[in-house]
Structure 1
């Protein structure tokens, strides 16, 4: 049996050596690539450095200009739209991202969203965050098929590309974090986000029921793409498009 065991170990040993060899080669390639990049940086002359500096200054100026334009359009603060017409205007001026909260004064959960959106509005200048009273916006409520309050409508490039209905996708409870809503907005691609989209922030909480809920949320968001593919073109306001509303 000892001879048989030795014979069986030979392929394993060879396999390990082969893997080790590949790892060494890969490490060497990475090291060579890094050395090449370091050498390239070391060999930059004054003209190269000046070109890089000018490019970075240009980028910073463009970012500053864009930032100022967003602030002038009302970005950076969570505000209320006074009319349905304002919704269409805002969709056009805030093409990078718009979050519109359809609320009702009598619904307590709307106040919870108000708190989180107020915090996120100042953090994500790139996205305009507003709210509108659903009872005073009958056309939009019908056109966008708003059936549950609160509902967040996410708009990008003048099209409704996503929606957050109630709190089910935020953990299914009232105690979700601002980071959780931020993550969900990032899924909708209306904000810039540096976190991990595959892991909801509240997944780290100790409540098992919450973790179970969030696991199903992540699966739902990535599997049910059809939920987010129905977009509303704000350039076409005819009533004959009502048949294309999302059904939730």
Structure 2
């Protein structure tokens, strides 16, 4: 009981110290602090509105490769999913990217049908579908090709993809970049089973032809 009392007394001392510190602050200091916080909130709100006006906050499809350039030019950070309707792994990525687009307002999330973008797929050397092109300031900085960076399993988590995008600095990642989120044992088992059944792996989804 004495130990608990000591802890409570310590907490009480800390609270008293904080209250004293606040009471010692001059009225002008408090007003300046309040004003600074208000300005920060206004700035954040303005930035959010700017992102929304540029199409951030949603995962959207662009109709052609011609539209790609204007979309990318408009935003500092872009994730573009090159997909194909016949590739089921693209639908798996769609699900995760839809979640991340809402969470990471600072980045624009796009998808483009690779079959409608021969020039771009050639220029960006997109040979495997799905491929995520990760762009910063209009330049391609990195790629996520197939699911090889995501544990080679269809059961990867949204958190793992988020970590991978964070490693490329294409989103503002708040976690530990040195340590990827752990995959469950269940996912690892499914990975082995699927690889055995499919046999050919990701090369079967190649666009190199």
Q: Place the TM-score, normalised by the shorter chain, in its bin.
A: 0.7 to 0.9
How far is the alpha carbon of 1:140 from its aligned partner? Answer: 0.4
How far is the alpha carbon of 1:62 from its aligned partner? Answer: 0.8
Superposed, 1:47-58 pairs within 5 Å as: 47-58=28-39
Q: Partner residue of 1:116?
A: 96
Superposition RMSD in Å: 2.0
Structure 1: 5+ residue stretches without partners: 1-33, 211-248
CA 174–77 in structure 1, closer or farther in 2 if over 3 Å, else same: same
CA 171–42 in structure 1, closer or farther in 2 if over 3 Å, else same: farther
Q: Partner residue of 1:145?
A: 125
Q: In the alignment, is the contact (CA less than 8 A) between 2:79 and 2:107 conserved in 1?
A: yes
Q: Partner residue of 1:155?
A: 135
Partner residue of 1:94 out of 63, 75, 80: 75
How far is the alpha carbon of 1:53 from its aligned partner? Answer: 1.2
How far is the alpha carbon of 1:205 from its aligned partner? Answer: 2.4
1:152 and 1:177 mapped to 2: Cα distance?
16
Q: Partner residue of 1:76?
A: 57
The question of 1:62 aligning with 2:43 is answered yes
Structure 2: 5+ residue stretches without partners: 1-13, 190-209
The one-character-per-residue Cα deviations of 1:128-186 (angstroms, maximum 9, x if unpaired) are 10100001001100000001100000011111111100001011110000111111111
How far is the alpha carbon of 1:206 from its aligned partner? Answer: 3.1
CA 42–183 in structure 1, closer or farther in 2 if over 3 Å, else same: farther
Q: Which has the higher contact order (CA 8 A, sep 6+)?
A: 2
